[in-house]
Amino acid sequence: MERSEIYRMIQRVLSDREGTLERGVTFSWTLEGDERVVGLVFDVILDRYFLYNKTSLLTEVQEIARLVECRPEEIVRAFSCLSGIRLESNHIIERLMTIEEATISENGSIRVAIRLGGWLTHQLHQINCDALLPC
């Protein structure tokens, strides 16, 4: 599958509340949220995935809030929405991503550790592959 097709598929998961993708993968949002903020937070997650090439990421909510010009509570809600996107294929159910840990420091900063789900990791790996080398 070409990169542009993979990006369109991921965009569909982020913009439609439910649907069916290629190969019978169904998806649905289990929590409501602001699509714009969810998309902005997801863009930051993608940037960090490609920068660090890791499927587990630790991030600070206030930092993302400054980057995308939103309130920290909107960022927390976006993380909840992203972790609530359910994917199902061949009776296998998973989340787009999982919140592994969330902490609040003494000075009030909120840190969130996430792990990308298998389906999303596979799609991002395909995008990250060099077109000249097999994955």
Question: pLDDT (tens digit, 9 = 90+) per residue, 43-70?
Answer: 999 999 999 989 999 999 999 999 999 9
pLDDT at 128: 80
Domain ranges of the chain: 3-128
pLDDT (average), residues 90-106: 95
Fold classified for 3-128: Arc Repressor Mutant, subunit A (1.10.10)
pLDDT at 133: 55
Q: Above 60 in pLDDT, residue 77?
A: yes
104 burial level (CB within 10 Å; 0-12, 13-18, 19+)? exposed
Buried b (16+ CB within 10 A) or exposed e, 85-101: bbbeeeeeeebbbebee
Residue pair 94/87 in contact (Cβ under 8 Å)? The answer is: yes
Q: Tokens representing 63?
A: 């930092």
Q: Tokens representing 116?
A: 């990308």
pLDDT (average), residues 32-36: 90
Q: Above 60 in pLDDT, residue 130?
A: no
Higher pLDDT, 3 or 114: 114
Which pTM does this prediction carry? Answer: 0.89
Under 8 Å CB-to-CB from 31, ≥6 apart: which residues? Answer: 80, 81, 84
Output the furthest CA–CA distance in the chain (Å, rounded). Answer: 49
Residue pair 77/37 in contact (Cβ under 8 Å)? The answer is: yes
pLDDT at 103: 97
Beta strands in the chain (DSSP E): 18-20, 26-29, 56-60, 85-89, 92-95, 97-104, 110-116
